Structure 1
């Protein structure tokens, strides 16, 4: 198998690459160039010690590093992460992070580190212990109302902010919309968990507070997505697909308004419906 071309650190990846394919359509065969989503190993290192290897789209990696560190509880706040160095290797990309000595990431826990790479669709791949698999999320603060009209507007505008998916049809998006339904920030990745981590990191980098507004997901709402959202202080999250039973229970206990099957003209509210006006 020929290894993928080494990415150029001076030319940020758009998240996809051209590939020549054969396409059969309407009884005709043609050769065309198609756009294919990138996916490669991204290693997370803290103070020189490896913690996990995630399969991710090599785009917005500084956001990914910060968001992953926060949502995994490896740092207490964004200021705990002092530096991020991207190392582009033949095998993939290393994100070498320097954190304060008081951060959990600075004290390697051999029982907590990932044994396996985090596959593109996996949130807990490689977790050693059952008690490490499901964490009780923190409780978010009260308040943060939005209208159903704003939710509809945000959902209608999301597609226009997904350039990677428009090119490839193969990536998820996590988006932040304000209380009026305007899309403020979007991050994309082949992994839904990675997309959310990137969004959380980007929100910190751009000083977007989660007190008002809503999180939109182009995926199902699984329990780890709720946990990551709660870690960021998100109060309202809407997914275009279904939630799981565990996600509903965790959202209820964390005080999060969880919306599923969010489509134009319809949505289901599973928890804390009082935030929707």
Structure 2
């Protein structure tokens, strides 16, 4: 297997009916990254080896280990024999290392004005495949994007893990001091509760996804004041919670 970047080439067979054809396939790389904070081991995550620093920062933030990017004084990511090791220096963070999302209390989430047009959601959903370079090459990755109020993409992050893609995106938003009320998040994956919780930690008020929510997701989004737009594809979507953040 020939490896490079986020993908590898491998020899395989394409079978159609009784016919076998040798082919060269592009597959997504999956490697471990061991995260250490202030010398303590936090967690090992399997990920796509791109934007690893964003992943580390985003994961520490959504896990409640750090409260802001300003908590971090040093981030070092180095390749090792089987993947990466990340060492973060964050004087005085919350090192209760259980993976508990740093959620704001119900009703206390950021309340600034937010109004997104349905056209912006349509624009973001229709543009997704065009920016999913890893997915087009491997067919194995998810994407998390932050779009501005017009639906234009500002940040795109991909990973084999949908949770990793969201952590990478939030890490990038933190590192670039992005105001969460300046846009919304669009996800290529199912509208999973953990993903919505991660977005909520950063103060995201509108989330659109290509697939379905569950009742737990709807309960959470309703409680937290999050507008949830699911099945956002092919020029349509369904608004499940807080439609007031969408213009009519």
Same fold (TM over 0.5): yes
Matched, 1:99 2:85: no
2:239 is matched with 269
SS of corresponding position for 1:252: helix
1:191-243 deviation line (CA, Å, top 9, x unaligned): 11100000011112233221121100011111111111111111110011111
Per-residue deviation, 1:181: 1.2
1:145 is matched with 115
Quick one: structure 1 residues 276 and 254, their matched pair in 2 at CA, closer, same or farther if it must change by over 3 Å? same
Match of 1:209 among 179, 198, 208: 179
Cα distance in 2 for partners of 1:39, 1:31 equals 24
Per-residue deviation, 1:135: 6.9
In structure 1, stretches of 5+ residues that fail to align are 8-12, 114-126
2:169 is matched with 199
Quick one: structure 1 residues 86 and 157, their matched pair in 2 at CA, closer, same or farther if it must change by over 3 Å? same
Q: Which has the higher strand share?
A: 2
Large movers: runs of 4+ above 3 Å: 25-28, 134-138
Per-residue deviation, 1:137: 4.6
Cα distance in 1 for partners of 2:134, 2:214 equals 27
Per-residue deviation, 1:176: 0.8
Quick one: structure 1 residues 46 and 56, their matched pair in 2 at CA, closer, same or farther if it must change by over 3 Å? same
Cα distance in 2 for partners of 1:97, 1:135 equals 19
SS of corresponding position for 1:211: helix
Matched, 1:14 2:35: no
More displaced 10-residue stretch of structure 1: 188-197 or 35-44:
35-44
RMSD over equivalenced CA pairs, Å: 2.0
Match of 2:50 among 43, 54, 59: 59
TM-score under structure 1 length normalisation: 0.82
In structure 2, stretches of 5+ residues that fail to align are none
1:107-133 deviation line (CA, Å, top 9, x unaligned): xx4xx44xxxxxxxxxxxxx6xxxx5x
More displaced 10-residue stretch of structure 1: 205-214 or 68-77:
205-214
Cα distance in 1 for partners of 2:189, 2:197 equals 15
More displaced 10-residue stretch of structure 1: 260-269 or 170-179:
260-269
Per-residue deviation, 1:255: 1.1
Aligned residues: 244
Cα distance in 1 for partners of 2:161, 2:229 equals 20
